Amino acid sequence: MRLATRVTELLGIRYPIVQAPMAGGFTPPRLVAAVSEAGALGSFAAALLPPEEILAGVAEIRALTDEPFGVNLFAPQPAPALDPGRATAVQAALRAVREELGLPEPEPPSPPGWTFETQLQAVVEARPPVFSFTLGLPPLESVRDAGATMLGSATTVAEAVELERAGVDAVVVQAAEAGGHRGTFLGSFEGSLVGALALLPQIADAVALPLVAAGGIMDGRGIAAALALGAEGVQLGTAFLGCPESGASDLYRDALARAKDDGTVVSPVVTGRHARWLRTPIVDRLAELEPLPFPLQGALLMDIRRAAGEQGRDDLSLLMAGQAAGLVRRLPAAELVETLVRETDETIRRLSG
């Protein structure tokens, strides 16, 4: 595929394809390395990891590949205030679910033993070739000085302009279709749910930086469309959950494969921040819940997420996914990258007649 773009050049990769970082253990070093070895960019999600695990993860990736890879963090968020009244109400609402899973009521969540600053120090020490971030705009001087290429995530034109001003090297354009947390950091979550067809050309007109399209891209048709809309690279999350090297369970992969086009929903009830989830029965059951602020709600639900997975309870599973989840394929990472490249090539050829 002749697909040299500013993104392939910037990231030092063969194909303009990025495997999205997916926090929660879904992008382990073996996946990241397999993707990078295949000529795309593997990304290690480090947002929920303590500094020592970030360093260990990067060392493991380096032991598996000499190719470029990325490390990803969440921008620092305002310190959440734990309102004991709200916590009691949430615990009460979750009681029936815990009973079904045979779980005791947990203690209110306590903050983790690390901070964004200590995570960032670990990234600087690990010196990954690429640093990406979402959910805001972190301080970038130290990673820039460490020589990393920087990718920031935007969900609107205003956010992309802000990232360009801050000096990132490329913008990941997270469209409404995307699985996982909305990266929105300016404006409202509802207003920032802009589909890729509308969002990419408007951001392409507003910033000079190369764009990486994310959201709902599962095959070569999606990649060719994103390139046509002004992107010079693509970032796929849900598609890579189908790979055996990912950290997704069989239950997760089966649920993705069964998903219909209307089978996901954007909701704050699971983590306290808007994210796109598979619409499992528990997501509907919790729909009216007023969650604790991010990330406390997610911490509070952690025992339920774990137990639902262990007990094979589809109905109680909390699984992030993009709107095109049903197109997921269970291919090894290298084969998926190869297939995506071939399909993109075929689509572009078909269009150019």
List interacting residues with ligand FMN (CB under 6 A): 20-23, 26, 45, 47, 72, 134, 153, 174, 177-180, 214-217, 235-239, 320-322, 324
Q: Which is nearer to ligand FMN, 21 or 272 (CB)?
A: 21
CA dihedral 64, 145, 24, 110 (to 10 degrees): 140
Distance, in Å, from the CA atom of 75 to the CA atom of 175, rounded to the nearest integer, reads 19
Q: Which is nearer to ligand FMN, 149 or 174 (CB)?
A: 174
* Least distance CB 191 / ligand FMN (angstroms): 18
* Least distance CB 17 / ligand FMN (angstroms): 11
* Least distance CB 305 / ligand FMN (angstroms): 12
DSSP 293-311: STTHHHHHHHHHHHHHHHT
Beta strand segments in the chain, E: 17-19, 42-45, 69-74, 130-134, 149-154, 170-174, 180-181, 211-214, 233-236, 264-267, 275-278
* Least distance CB 156 / ligand FMN (angstroms): 14
Work out the end-to-end distance of the chain between its first and last CA atoms, rounded to an integer number of angstroms: 16
* Least distance CB 152 / ligand FMN (angstroms): 9
Distance, in Å, from the CA atom of 269 to the CA atom of 275, rounded to the nearest integer, reads 9
Q: Which is nearer to ligand FMN, 21 or 291 (CB)?
A: 21
Q: Which is nearer to ligand FMN, 152 or 291 (CB)?
A: 152
Query: Which phi-psi region, left, alpha or beta, contains residue 43 (left: φ > 0; alpha: ψ -120 to 50)?
Result: beta
* Least distance CB 226 / ligand FMN (angstroms): 11
Number of H helices, E strands in the chain: 14, 11
Q: Which is nearer to ligand FMN, 38 or 45 (CB)?
A: 45
Q: Which is nearer to ligand FMN, 215 or 291 (CB)?
A: 215
